[in-house]
Amino acid sequence: MGKSFREHFRLSKAAVLLLLIMAATAFGMNKLSETSVDRGGLAKTAATPNTQNCSHRVGNVWFTITNWGFFGSQFQQSQLKELYCISPSVPIGELAPSFEFPAGTGVNYLFQGALWIGAIVGEDTLVSVGADGWQWTHEMYPQSAPNGGIIQKSNRRSSEFYSEDAISEQDFVAEYTDTLVDVTWTADDPRDNRHHKPLGIKVLQRSYSWSYSYAEDFILLDYRLVNIGTKDISKAYMALYVDADNWHPSTANGFADDISGYRFTVPSPACPEDLED
C-alpha cells in the first residue's frame, strides 16, 4: 500500500468526525426555555431568501456549508461558487470545494449532504428537508437580505473576523427555518401531492475548523433546533442525508463512484444499548 493511498484513506477519519459528531439540543421542544422565540405564526411568503455558502479552508479539509439546510458544493453544472466569506486566498467566483481532502488536491468525497427532520406536530406527521437529491427539493431557508447571512468568526487575534466568543479558528454561524411555503422556493410533495407543510422550526447552525495538526482533519457541525410554531412538537427525529461521491473537478462523471464510507463508527452516549454486541 503506497503512502499516497494511505494519506487519502485518512478520509474515513475526517468523514466520521464531520458527519457524525454533532451537538443537537433540539428535542426538548415541548419545554422550550428560549425567551426570544416568537410562536405567533409562521411566514407564508417572503422576499428572496438570502441564501449563501462559505467554505472552511483553515485545516486539511476544505468543506462548504450553507445557510439553507445542506452542506457540500455539489459539482459540475450545479456546483456552488465562492461569492461570500471571501479572502485574499479565495478568489471570488472560484468553484467551492465540497469535501476536499487533503486540502488543495481537488479530490472530493461528497456531492451534498443535508439536514432532515421529522416529527409529530399536533396530530400531523411532517418532515422537512434541507435538500433532497432525487426530487431536488429545498425546504429550509434564511431570512431575506440584509438579514439571514452567514456570520464568520475566529479566535485568531490577528484575524479580521476575531471575536471573543469564537470557538475555533474559523467559525461559521447560520440561522434558517422551514417555514417558507411559497411554491417559488419549495416544491410540491410528489407523494402527498400537496405544498410543503412546515414543522415550524428554526435551525441554529454552527461549524468549526482548526489548523492544528491534531485537529486539522475534521470539521465539527453543531445544530440546535427551536420550535417557533404555534403547536407542540413531539417524537422528533433528526438525520443527515449524505450523497457521498468520489470526484475531482476534472472528472466528468464523479457521481458514478460511490465507494466512500466509514472505517468505524462511534455510537452515541445517548443510546447505550447500541454499545452492546
Residue range 151-210, pLDDT digits in tens: 999 999 999 999 999 999 999 999 999 999 988 898 887 777 888 999 999 999 999 999
Whether 103 is covered by a domain: the verdict is: yes
Whether 275 is covered by a domain: the verdict is: no
Flag whether pLDDT at 63 surpasses 50.
yes
CA distances, 180 to each of 49, 142, 164 (Å): 9, 9, 33
Record the cell numbers describing residue 267, joined without a space. Answer: 455510537
Record the cell numbers describing residue 249, joined without a space. Answer: 473537478
To the question of pTM greater than 0.85 for the whole model, the response is no
Write out the residue range of the structural domain in which residue 11 sits.
Answer: 3-263
**pLDDT tens across 237-258, in order?**
999 999 988 888 787 777 777 7
Whether 242 is covered by a domain: the verdict is: yes
Contact residues for 122 (Cβ-Cβ < 8 A; gap 6+)? 231, 232
Dist CA 262 CA 15 (whole Å)? 7
CB 18 within 8 A of CB 221: yes
What mean pLDDT is predicted for residues 61-72?
96
Whether 230 is covered by a domain: the verdict is: yes
Question: Binning pLDDT at 50, 70 and 90, where does residue 275 land?
Answer: low
Whether 107 is covered by a domain: the verdict is: yes
Q: DSSP code of 132?
A: B
Whether 277 is covered by a domain: the verdict is: no
CB 108 within 8 A of CB 99: yes
Average pLDDT, the chain: 81
What mean pLDDT is predicted for residues 210-230?
96
Whether 235 is covered by a domain: the verdict is: yes
Q: How many domains does the chain have?
A: 1
Whether 268 is covered by a domain: the verdict is: no
